[in-house]
Amino acid sequence: MSVDRRSTVLAFGAARYVTMSLIALVLLLPLVWLVVSSLRPPADIFAQGSRLGWGMLIPDRLTLENYTSLIGTGFPRAVGNSLFVALTTMVVGVIINAAAGFAFAVFDFRFKNVIFAFVLAAAMMPFEAIVIPLYILVQSLGLIDTYAALILPDLANGFVIFMFRQFFAGLPRELYEAARVDGASWGHIWLKIALPISWPVVLTGGIMLFMHQFEAFFWPLVAAPSPEHTLVQVAIARNISLEGTEWGRLFSSTTLAGLVALVPFLLFQKFYIRNFVTSGLK
Amino acid sequence: MTTRRTVLKGMTATGGLLAAPQLLRAQAKTELNVIWVGWPEGHITPMAEMFMKNNPTINLKLERIPFNELFPALEVRLQARTPLPDIFFADGPLTASYSIRKHLAELDGILGNDLSRYTKAALAQGTYKGKLMTLPYISSGMVLFLNRKHFADAGVALPEPDVAKRWTWEQTLEAAKKLTDPAKNQWGLVFEMADRPYQALTLPQSKGAQVLSEDGLTATGYVDSKPFIDAMQFYADLFNKHKVTPTGVFDTNLALEMFATGRAAMYLATTPSLASISARKDLDWTVAPQPYFEGGKAVTPTGSWHIGLNPRTKQRAAAETFIKAFAQPEYVEAQARLRPNPPVLKSVWDSMGAELDTPGWRIVRSEMENTAMPRPATPGWLEYEDILRGAFREIQGGANVEQRLKKAARDIDREFAKYRG
Amino acid sequence: MTDRAAAPVAASEAPRLARRRSADPMQPRTLVLLAFLLPALAFLVLFRLTPIVIAIGGSLFTQNLAGETSFGGLTNFAQLFGDERFWNSLKVTLIFNIIINPLQIAIAFGYALLVMVPGRGITFFRAAFFLPMTLSTGLTAVLWNIMLDSNLGPVNAILEGIGIGRQPFFLSEHQALGTMIAIATWKGCGYWMIFLLAGLYRIPGELYEAARIDGASRWHQLVHITLPQMRRPLAFVFVADTAINFLFFAPVYIITKGGPNGATDLLMFRAYENAFTFINWGRSLALSTIILVIIGVIAAIELRLFRDKEGAEA
């Protein structure tokens, strides 16, 4: 490798890290402010806001009061509820949406385009427009204020199906043909060939479903608002009120919920590596 | 699992005689589904426990809906027209809206005729077409909070905490000019609800404006009347011409922080601020009554949360028990002790005694009896409020007052068409 | 891509396949097809299609107060089209989307390219890019409303401190929509990054090796290898991002209420306001239907654009 070439590579790497650092700074500063504010006594949160200075980011007085006081509230239970709902949706949802996505990508069948258009429309319809009919429906099924009311309507997701279709359609078709010729069943092909070489895609679908449920707010509010079934965003929003928002707890609960929501991504991003099976094939 | 089950079995065996009746009673309990506005748990749970202790056969299932989403969430639940919730909290001015859409059962027959114990304004707010439709539960009132240090520094004499010596708006403006110091990010006057008709309507009302037609169905000729425009011009000038009030403070909690962190000398706000400002130990403050326009009359806002009974409830008897209980002075008093809002029953003002005998509460008590004006009774309150909020925001931002109010009046009347039909 | 014929079966293999079933081996039996499709479709039909049909049907009915409906045909639509506020909302919605969709996707693509290659601290940067996504849209609005507050928020203090001066942000007719776009972009790009990352890892490494041997520049590789290979993931990201941004409204509801002077009056906010504030479900559903149609048309165009190239490539 010539000296020239090596210095280009080095310069490129340095530029990459500088760019990433600048972006991270812009993205994280508001969150740092949020976390720092969550560590201040409530009276101090807005005391420093209007003048530039270190007081903005370094608290005069530190307290964990905003965190410890969450213990006695419904917040821990709400985090548990949200995790249960989001993880269940993720596991079951990935299976059924990946299966449907596979069918749209690989099979030919009658009315395929019409059915697929409906799948997309299901994801594109403003939720607020269908919330009352959906509420009546879920109520008539006797599911109001149950975990099922929170999970079942969001298991199938048009966007997740669409994403799986796009990625499965991108796999070389010879892969399936070869397996079919060898007599493999479609179930086998899907489970043992398509899914294993699509780990990043499967995990991405999982993150989609997880985030969708972890951020859910309006539906959980109307469908299951009792303390036993309260989800995390509803619990956080209860700190906001016309007269007397609990800023400290609002910030501390937001911080904790954000950290919990980050965990699946942190675990899954390790699997974002180039897939050798596909690279070997083309 | 097995060990726990054996233990439980043993317990039932030994305490069988005690446990069995309790079990039976638990099964016989009626469950009432109550949608409560999302106050802190500490303001609600003790009230629910008090009720369940007094009514052991009824179990309350509470849903605390955050304030910002209470209307949309209730809308979904009520428009679905199901038996649940049995009981729900309604903002007072929505009484007419819910009544006309048949989401409320009449309460007259439940409470009997002794309604004179309620304050006049609270009763008016819960009444639609001569019938009591929502039970007044808590009320609201406003006082002017003053930062003593700012007044001393600017050499301005403080107004007195005496309704007889109420400042005029003109006096308030003159003081605010002296109290404003842009270099220190210090403002003369901050409104808690700068864009909400709840607070802003009292300005035109003080100039004698009627803010909506008698039947509550026409805004043109009222929202754009001369006294309304004049009052809102004065309000607009606070922001734009005199620059004594900051624009864009629409979040009530940020408005509070403006006063609590010493950025505002005067703060016009509701009674919950009496508690939140008391909690700020470094602040040296006092109160005065809300100003009025010279030559006009003193008007203060009022009205707050009422309780509604779903006419489709399957638990009518239990729901009526709930309504009757929460009309009792001991419930109203217990709630007033948990939450700094004015009680709706006259007797509670006396029974609470010392607690309400502070300068701030003395002003509020007098206002409740003399100057408090409920928001206009109209089935279209939500539309009226929303459209006026937009207008007030833009008037703050420098829009032409008369044109903007005329547009608002037209927009309101267009949305009201459905109620006239 | 979908209507491409299955590979012809070689004659020598025909008998073995015929034993299993006579039809094309690439075509599943109905039962197999149903096993793949039905679980998801059944849920979608029950929990989405049924309410959608009721909702779109509802847009044809006029408003009622006591819960009774009367058929109004297209009156709700006619009223909307005669309303200047509707046309302003449509304009604002289109401007918002024309800017935010390419912007978010370009930035997300940039993020994905930056964090794709593992290296020191890469987990930190990936997490940093994704982290704003962990806040719900509503909380993002609450947070930024405070951050940008002219009296209490730190952003204006910083701008003043470095000499740029205080900005009105949501209070200005000219800045409000741009500020909305900025906070939505702050939050959303990390999300779209993950799909593009998954797509980037699908690209066979040999393509790049071959290009490097040919001495192709990084730019050349990006345009001639990466972009063509990313068509399918990009098609998904474009369609999904478009849909999500057309449905964006929570920060408008929380912060600006459509103002100042209609500057942030997005159609979706109007649909929400008409349903829950104006108690006018007919009009709200008409607005929702219009939004759905617009998204549908744009999605079809986007898919068509990506499909044509795919056809040429394949």
Does residue A218 sit at the C interface (CB-CB below 8 Å)? no
Per-residue model confidence as pLDDT tens digits over B162-207: 999 999 999 999 999 999 998 788 999 999 999 999 999 999 999 9
Taking the C-alpha atoms of residue C74 and residue C80, their distance in angstroms, rounded to an integer, is 10
Cβ contacts (< 8 Å) between A262 and chain C: which residues? 127, 130-131, 134
HEC-encoded secondary structure of chain A: CCHHHHHHHHHHHHHHHHHHHHHHHHHHHHHHHHHHHHCCCHHHCCCCCCCCCHHHCCCCCCCCHHHHCCCCCCHHHHHHHHHHHHHHHHHHHHHHHHHHHHHHHHCCCCCHHHHHHHHHHHHHCCHHHHHHHHHHHHHHCCCCCCHHHHHHHHCCCHHHHHHHHHHHHHCCHHHHHHHHHCCCCHHHHHHHHHCHHHHHHHHHHHHHHHHHHHCCCHHHHHHCCCCCCCCHHHHHHCCCCCCCCCHHHHHHHHHHHHHHHHHHHHHHHHHCCCCHHHHHHC
Of A108, A127, A162, Cβ closest to residue C240: A162
Taking the C-alpha atoms of residue B331 and residue B327, their distance in angstroms, rounded to an integer, is 7
Q: Mutating which of B251, B411, B413 best tests the C interface, going by the most C Cβ atoms within 10 A?
A: B251
Question: Where do we find the tokens 């009919």?
Answer: A133
Return all residues near B15 (Cβ < 8 A) that are at least 6 apart: none
| CA-based nearest residue in chain A for residue C296 | A121
Distance to chain B for C51, nearest Cα, Å: 13
| Residue A59 confidence (pLDDT) | 77
Would you place residue A62 in the very low, low, confident or very high pLDDT band (cuts 50, 70, 90)?
confident
Distance to chain B for A163, nearest Cα, Å: 32
Per-residue model confidence as pLDDT tens digits over B120-138: 888 989 999 899 999 999 9
- Cβ distance A118 to C247 less than 8 Å, yes or no, reads no
Sign of CA dihedral B127, B39, B273, B356: positive
Per-residue model confidence as pLDDT tens digits over A78-113: 999 999 999 999 999 999 999 999 999 999 888 999
Does residue B83 sit at the A interface (CB-CB below 8 Å)? no
**Closest to B52 measured CA to CA, from B325, B305, B262, B245:** B325
Report mean pLDDT in 10-residue bins for chain C, 314 residues. 40 42 70 92 94 80 62 81 92 96 96 89 94 93 90 85 87 93 96 92 85 85 89 93 94 89 93 90 89 94 76 37
| Residue C13 confidence (pLDDT) | 43
Return all residues near B16 (Cβ < 8 A) that are at least 6 apart: none
Return all residues near B224 (Cβ < 8 A) that are at least 6 apart: B402, B405, B406, B408, B409
Distance to chain C for B100, nearest Cα, Å: 7
Cβ contacts (< 8 Å) between B382 and chain C: which residues? 277-279
Of C130, C133, C152, Cβ closest to residue A50: C152
Give the ipTM of the model, two decimals please: 0.89
Entry pTM: 0.88
- Cβ distance B71 to C254 less than 8 Å, yes or no, reads no
* CA C249 vs CA A216, B43, B68, C37, C104: distances in Å: 15, 32, 15, 32, 17
Parallel, antiparallel or unpaired: strands B300-301 and B187-191: unpaired
Q: Which positions of chain B have pLDDT values less than 50?
A: 1-25
- Please name every residue paired with B267 in a beta bridge, in sequence order, or none if there are none: B145, B190
Q: Which amino acid is at B181?
A: D
Cβ contacts (< 8 Å) between C150 and chain B: which residues? 246-248
- Cβ distance A122 to C299 less than 8 Å, yes or no, reads no
Of C151, C273, C275, Cβ closest to residue B263: C151
Task: Name all chains with 3 or more CB-CB pairs below 8 Å to chain C.
Answer: A, B
Would you place residue A52 in the very low, low, confident or very high pLDDT band (cuts 50, 70, 90)?
low
Distance to chain A for B403, nearest Cα, Å: 30
Q: Is there a contact between C88 and C102 (Cβ–Cβ < 8 Å)?
A: no
- Cβ distance A47 to B61 less than 8 Å, yes or no, reads no
Sign of CA dihedral C141, C250, A242, C132: negative
Of A50, A136, A243, Cβ closest to residue B252: A243
Per-residue model confidence as pLDDT tens digits over B99-117: 998 999 999 888 876 788 8
Cβ contacts (< 8 Å) between C43 and chain A: which residues? 96, 152-153, 155-156
- Cβ distance C40 to A96 less than 8 Å, yes or no, reads yes
Residue A41, phi-psi category: left (phi > 0), alpha (psi -120 to 50), beta (remainder)? beta
Of A27, A50, A270, Cβ closest to residue C129: A27
| Residue C151 confidence (pLDDT) | 81
Dig out the tokens for A94 from the structure: 């990935």
- Cβ distance B248 to C277 less than 8 Å, yes or no, reads no
Distance to chain C for B15, nearest Cα, Å: 48
Cβ contacts (< 8 Å) between C63 and chain B: which residues? 418
Cβ contacts (< 8 Å) between C279 and chain B: which residues? 75, 97, 101, 382-383, 418
Q: Mutating which of A233, A242, A246 best tests the B interface, going by the most B Cβ atoms within 10 A?
A: A242
**Closest to C272 measured CA to CA, from A130, A238, B93:** A130
